[in-house]
Amino acid sequence: MPEYDLLLLRFGEITIKGKNRSRFEKAALSHVKLLLRAYPRTEARKDYGRIYVVLNGEPAHEIIDALKNVFGVTSISPMNTVSSNLEDILSGATSFMKGISWAGEKTFKVSAKRAWKGFPHPSLEMNKLVSTPILMAVPGLKVDVHHPAVNLRVEIREQETYLYTEVIQAAGGYPLGSNGKAMLLLSGGIDSPVAGWSAMRRGLEIECVHFHSYPFTSKKAEEKVLNLARVLSSYVGQIKVHLVPFTEIQTILSQSGHDNLMITLMRRAMLRIATRLAENNGALALVTGDSLGQVASQTLSSMNVIGRATDLPLLRPLVMSDKEEIISMARQIGTYELSILPYEDCCTLFVPKSPATNPNLRIIESAEASLTQLTEEIEKAVQGTETLCIRPDQDIDRSTGEEPVVQDKWF
Ligand SMILES: Nc1ncnc2c1ncn2[C@@H]1O[C@H](COP(=O)(O)OP(=O)(O)OP(=O)(O)O)[C@@H](O)[C@H]1O
Output the pLDDT for position 173.
92
Tens digits of residue pLDDT in 141-154: 999 999 999 999 99
Please compute the mean of the pLDDT values over residues 251-271 and round it to a whole number.
91
Q: Is the pLDDT of residue 405 over 80?
A: no
| Cβ(317)–Cβ(287) below 8 Å | yes
Q: Is 191 in the pocket of ligand 1 (CB under 6 A)?
A: yes
- Helices (H), ranges, 15-83: 21-36, 60-67
Tens digits of residue pLDDT in 56-78: 999 999 999 999 999 999 999 99
Question: Do 181-390 and 6-169 fall under one CATH topology?
Answer: no
What's the gap in Å between 77 CA and the centre of ligand 1?
Answer: 38
Q: Is 289 in the pocket of ligand 1 (CB under 6 A)?
A: yes
Q: Is 189 in the pocket of ligand 1 (CB under 6 A)?
A: yes
d(CA 27, CA 266): 37
Output the pLDDT for position 399.
64
Output the pLDDT for position 356.
81
- Helices (H), ranges, 180-335: 191-201, 219-233, 247-253, 262-281, 300-307, 323-333
Q: What is the mean pLDDT of the chain?
A: 91
Tens digits of residue pLDDT in 16-30: 556 678 888 888 998
Please compute the mean of the pLDDT values over residues 288-295 and round it to a whole number.
90
d(CA 198, CA 334): 13
Q: Is the pLDDT of residue 167 over 70?
A: yes
Which residue from 192, 272, 325 has its CB within 8 A of the most atoms of ligand 1, so it is best to mutate?
Answer: 192
Report the CATH superfamily, name and number, of domain 181-390. HUPs (3.40.50.620)
Q: Is 345 in the pocket of ligand 1 (CB under 6 A)?
A: yes
Tens digits of residue pLDDT in 320-336: 999 999 999 999 999 99
| Cβ(290)–Cβ(192) below 8 Å | no
Give the start-to-end residue ranges of the domains of the chain.
Answer: 6-169, 181-390
Output the pLDDT for position 13.
62
Q: Give the fold, CATH level 3, of 6-169.
A: VC0802-like (3.30.2130)
